[in-house]
């Protein structure tokens, strides 16, 4: 390697003399990194979304290839976050493709120590039975002996991965059922 080529290979030298004084582009590239391609390059489409993890609501670009989510990055068009995501939001691809994601209902019986797998229809029937019974047994009554159509026997605590639309529907459903204790982890 000649002296000239050697000096040209220095990022700081290229940054000082070239068209990239902030070192965010060509000046920061090495021969190897110049050959790298972004992992989103082969995506078929980009869907705009919002990070579900907290109330900041950072904008996300969701990259889709062959019907599968392949990457989630910050959306530079978002006036809230301007392309940035915190470590939690940056890891939200795992929500859709992570190996730890459960695809089956897990149930732990009262006093049980192990999780049991249930099919969805069975779980839905169990929930419906309990909601009906709890409402019937748990209505509150006012001083005049009238039923108030509210019960403290049912509560809802949502996880941070529920999105705005899901939370809206959950709030409507549980309020209609008479519940007043409706919370979501993302408010913490
Ligand atoms: S969890 Fe992080 S990326 Fe997601 S909305 Fe909150 S601050 Fe933004």
Residue 173 in 3-state DSSP? helix
In the reported structure, the alpha carbon of residue 91 is separated from the centroid of ligand 1 by a whole-number distance in angstroms of 10
> Under a CB-based contact definition with an 8 Å cutoff, are residues 139 and 149 in contact?
yes
pLDDT at 26: 83
E strand map for 41-91 = 45-50, 59-65, 68-74
> Under a CB-based contact definition with an 8 Å cutoff, are residues 108 and 116 in contact?
yes
Question: 45-97 is classed in which CATH architecture?
Answer: Single Sheet (2.20)
Whole-structure pTM value: 0.66
Q: How far apart are CA 74 and CA 61, in angstroms?
A: 6
Q: How far apart are CA 53 and CA 127, in angstroms?
A: 26
pLDDT band at 64 (very low <50, low <70, confident <90, very high): very high
Q: Is the per-residue pLDDT at 1 higher than 70?
A: no
In the reported structure, the alpha carbon of residue 81 is separated from the centroid of ligand 1 by a whole-number distance in angstroms of 9
Q: Give the nearest ligand 1 atom to 87 CA.
A: 2
Q: How do the domains of the chain map onto residue ranges?
A: 3-35, 45-97, 138-184
The residue count of the chain comes to 188
User: pLDDT tens across 74-120, in order?
Assistant: 999 999 999 999 999 999 999 888 888 888 999 999 999 999 999 99
């Amino acid at each position: 390697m000649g002296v000239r080529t050697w000096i040209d290979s220095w990022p700081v030298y290229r940054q000082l003399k070239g068209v990239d004084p902030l070192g965010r582009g060509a000046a920061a590239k090495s021969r190897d990194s110049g050959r790298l391609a972004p992992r989103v390059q082969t995506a078929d489409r980009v869907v705009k979304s919002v990070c579900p993890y907290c109330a900041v609501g950072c904008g996300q670009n969701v990259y889709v290839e062959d019907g599968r989510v392949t990457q989630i990055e910050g959306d530079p068009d978002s006036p809230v976050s301007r392309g940035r995501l915190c470590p939690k939001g940056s890891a939200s691809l795992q929500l859709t493709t992570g190996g730890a994601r459960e695809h089956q209902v897990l149930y732990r019986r009262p006093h049980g120590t192990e999780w049991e797998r249930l099919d969805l229809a069975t779980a839905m029937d169990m929930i419906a039975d309990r909601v009906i019974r709890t409402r019937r047994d748990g209505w509150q009554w006012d001083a005049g002996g009238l039923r108030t159509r509210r019960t403290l026997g049912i509560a809802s605590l949502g996880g941070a991965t529920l999105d705005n639309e899901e939370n809206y529907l959950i709030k409507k459903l549980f309020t209609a059922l008479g519940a007043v204790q409706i919370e979501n982890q993302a408010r913490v």
